[in-house]
Chains A and B, each alone.
Chain A
Amino acid sequence: MPKQILIADDSESIREILTFSLERAGYQVLAASDGREAYNYLDGRSIDLLLTDYHMPNVNGLELISKVRQTDTYKYLPILVLTTEKQGDIVREAREAGATGWLLKPFSNEKLIQTLRKVIR
């Protein structure tokens, strides 16, 4: 059974390109356009990684991470935060909220898969 990755990003094109790249790499993808929608996906189904943007409407990335860490089922889910290079603070905040790692935008396909493989096989 392929691993399932949940994406949360409010940009449709980012969602599409992530979906495209991840599916080509053999993962199954669920895509949500904000934190709330992503959280709704966490309803018991099997998810192996959460890839979330930082800035999102409704529930933002940070809130999403904290919420995920509070669930029973997904407490130890690997989480990667999408961010840009300038925001060192974000990386720190996200880590404190419980993120496993981060991925700097812009990223290449290789970089994406390479980073992913740090937290999921």
Chain B
Amino acid sequence: MNSFSEKFKIEVGEYCERLESGLLQLEHDPENQQIIGEIFRIMHTMKGSGGMFGFDLLSDVTHDLESLFELFRSGEQIIDSEVISFTLKSIDCIRNLLVEEPTENHQLLAKTLKAETVQQITRFKKQVSEKEIDTKSIYSESSSAQLKATYLISFVPNEDILRNGTNPLYLIDELNALGECNIQVSTDHLPSLNEIDPLKCYLHWYLFIATSENVETLRDVFLFVAESSKIEIEKVSNKNVIQQESVLAAFINTKSNNDVWEIDEIAHEENTTDINGNSKEPGVLLKIEQEQEKSAVFGQITVDSVRVDSDKIDRYMNLVSEFITTQSRLDQVISVIRNPELTAISESWAKLNKQLRDNAFEMSLVPLQSLEIRFKRLVFDLSKSLDKEVELETEGLDTELDKNIIESLTEPLLHIIRNSIDHGIETKSQRQSINKNPVGKIFIKASTVGCYVLIEIEDDGEGLNEDKIREKALNNRLILASEKLTKEEVIQLIFAPGFSTADHVTDISGRGVGLDVVRKSIQNLRGTVVVTTQRGKYTRFSIKLPLSLSIIDGLLTRVGDNYFVIPSSVVSKLFAVKQDQLKKDFRQVIEIEDVQFPYLNLREEFEPNLPLPDEQQLVAVNYENQLFGLIVDDIVKEYQAVIKPISRFLKAQEIFSGANILGSGDLALVIDTNKLIQKYS
């Protein structure tokens, strides 16, 4: 929280400067409504925000200053130089009042300033009611825990309630959270199907609720709709009678006969009432019984799959990862103690750990299939509404991904498909005129490549128009006319923020927007997205994502005094190399076992000043279907690395994708070999 209040202080400083310059301008131009409006707004903001960041004195004094400027804003009064110099003086006070823990002096200062402001106000407006100057809402404390009482709430929403974005079901949900509910929907006002206006709400609700909250809290639920809707809250009983359906039924009965209900008159009947026989409101009650019966039946079926709250899986994953971190600390200690018995235990523990990790992994993996139905639905709906015929073909949707990744991936994928259908695939007649199959095709293919999952979405539409993209990018000032870009670079511009190629705006994919968001979401998952295209043939989006975000098998290496992790999944072979072998060639290529490797000595990148050791290790990693050598001083071990995200200060660089804390407490940075090689090759 502290950084917020620091930030706020800086902001108040800026506000004060703006106030000062505004006030000085007003000196010459006292009726400038724009400036007065600006001052009013700043006062208002400081008042509102001050309270939130704990600067109560600030919001106190600006409250009155705001009232003062309200007089001028409405044009009721004209500001004079006395007010201007007074306000300038109060700005100095405001700066002084910006302390987290005000002393008595501060209190006094605020009090004086307030009094003076009020004086100024009264000078302009003889009658200012006490109330208006000093209103500060005090939040009512929620009622102390009471015994539960039962209420009947009838909620008759205004027919037009949906139009301003209200969803009445949320309100019902909110009530449900406040206590035990018995909810009944009245469809009495539902017109016949051909008369229904889908934008209107015809339903009424009757809710019995047993709650320890007071009536005000219940009313508060309907705060936003209270004015337009009919809401009645009546007490049924001072006890919780929600389960006693006979009492509820009796209440409704009494109400419908317009009789007077005596609270708790019949509550004593609770033990003797026969639920089935005497129920006079069969609708709800019967239903509830049936539900109960059903659940009794289902209760006997044995269950072989369990639904688990995804938060629980996340927590489990997190615990497993902590477990593995602890394991590596244990290893560290044992390597010093060298107790054979302990070593044996640790080894078998490590094996269990690995199984535990794999198990946890499997649990959190979800096949892409879970999204298939949404893809299909989208293709169906869109092609209908755009009058295009589109066929969806998929391959490898059984590929599994971390469920967190899938969640964050859904929207980007749908967005790409939407774009493909809307902008990519031509209309039926267009396709026919250029001798293409009138039925367009979207092809989604997923596969696992090393530790990555590759998802390709391809349409057989008109492809991207490089010239048009270039032109748009120029118009939108994303590039300069002088910039020389390759075709590939131009095409990737569609991912730039604020880019748009659609000739006309359609409902479906807006204005060609959102590809910037798509790329950002994918980058947030440590993935990449590129687009390839051929005019008139296809557009293909290729998304590459890591399998999981949290634990990887890695090779711990040392360069100088620092440790780096190279993901095992990209490592092909390890070789020891001598310095004179490396020095032989200036093109940074080394020949081992008749194979030539381009290589990069990490020493040169990370520790250029230390003298080179005689022998180093070459880690041959896979890079774009060939081998590339990364030279390190030493290979420490292969292990499971729990990856922690790196802080935002390191976000600007790309070659490290995460960090791992070693048993010794040292830090090992995880190298994204693709990015590293790209950068230096």
Contact = CB atoms under 8 A, between A and B. Distances in A.
Interface of A: 1-2, 10-14, 16-17, 20, 43-46, 55-57, 69, 72-73, 75-79, 82, 84-86, 95, 98-102, 104-107, 111, 117-121
Nearest to B311: A26
Given A44-B508, A78-B166, 9 more contacts: A1-B407, A20-B4, A43-B511, A45-B514, A84-B44, A86-B132, A100-B164, A121-B167, A121-B170
B7 A85 contact: no
Interface stretch (B221-229, B261-269, B340-348, B623-631): B221-229
A13 B223 contact: no
Contacts, number: 122
Q: Is the interface of A mostly helix, strand, loop or mixed?
A: loop
A17 B4 contact: yes
- Measured as residues with beta carbon below 8 angstroms from the partner, the interface class of chain B is 35 or more
Contact of A104 (B45, B137, B173): B137
Contact of A16 (B7, B48, B509, B517): B7
Nearest to B165: A78
Interface in B209-240: 221, 223-224, 227
A86 B70 CA distance: 12
Nearest to A73: B507
A12 B11 contact: yes
Contacts of B511: 43-44
Nearest to B135: A86
Contact of B7 (A13, A82, A102): A13
A93 to B, nearest CB: 13
Contact of A117 (B40, B47, B174, B411): B174
Contacts of B47: 84, 105
A111 B223 CA distance: 13
A85 B48 CA distance: 9
A121 B513 contact: no
Interface string B43-59: 01101111111000001
B217 to A, nearest CB: 11
Given A45-B517, A95-B227, A100-B165, A120 B170 contact: yes
A76 B11 contact: no
Given A20-B4, A55-B41, A86-B135, A105 B223 contact: no
B162 interface: yes
Given A10-B45, A17-B52, A106-B51, A44 B407 contact: no
A117 B448 CA distance: 40
Nearest to A55: B41
Nearest to A49: B165
Contacts of B41: 10, 55-57
Nearest to A98: B164
Interface in B405-426: 407-408, 410-411
A99 B513 contact: no
Contacts of A98: 163-165
A82 to B, nearest CB: 7
Contacts of B136: 85
B69 to A, nearest CB: 12
Given A1-B411, A12-B7, A85-B137, A119 B166 contact: yes
A70 to B, nearest CB: 13
A102 B548 CA distance: 41
Q: Point out which of B7, B139, B165, B513 has the most chain A C-beta atoms below 10 A from its C-beta.
A: B165
A13 B44 contact: no
A100 B166 contact: yes
B49 A76 contact: no
A121 B165 contact: no
Given A43-B510, A44-B511, A82-B48, A13 B11 contact: yes
B671 interface: no
B165 A119 contact: yes
B163 A76 contact: yes
Interface in B40-88: 40-41, 44-45, 47-53, 59, 63
A117 B177 CA distance: 11
23 contacts: A10-B41, A12-B11, A13-B49, A13-B53, A14-B49, A17-B4, A44-B508, A44-B509, A73-B507, A73-B510, A76-B164, A76-B165, A77-B165, A82-B48, A86-B135, A95-B227, A98-B163, A98-B165, A106-B49, A118-B221, A118-B223, A118-B224, A119-B167
Contacts of A107: 52
Contacts of A106: 48-52, 59
B8 interface: yes
Contacts of B8: 13
A103 to B, nearest CB: 10
Given A16-B7, A44-B513, A118 B170 contact: yes
A105 B7 contact: no
A84 to B, nearest CB: 5
A2 B411 CA distance: 10
B439 interface: no
Interface string B352-383: 00000000000000000000000000000000
A121 B45 CA distance: 29
Nearest to A48: B165
A44 B170 CA distance: 25
- Give the interface centre of B174, B224, B407 by most chain A CB atoms within 10 Å: B224
Closest 4 interchain pairs by CB? Answer: A44-B510, A106-B51, A101-B224, A105-B48
B407 A76 contact: no
Contacts of B170: 117-121
A65 to B, nearest CB: 9
A11 B514 contact: no
Contact of B48 (A69, A84, A102): A84
B53 A121 contact: no
A32 B598 CA distance: 48
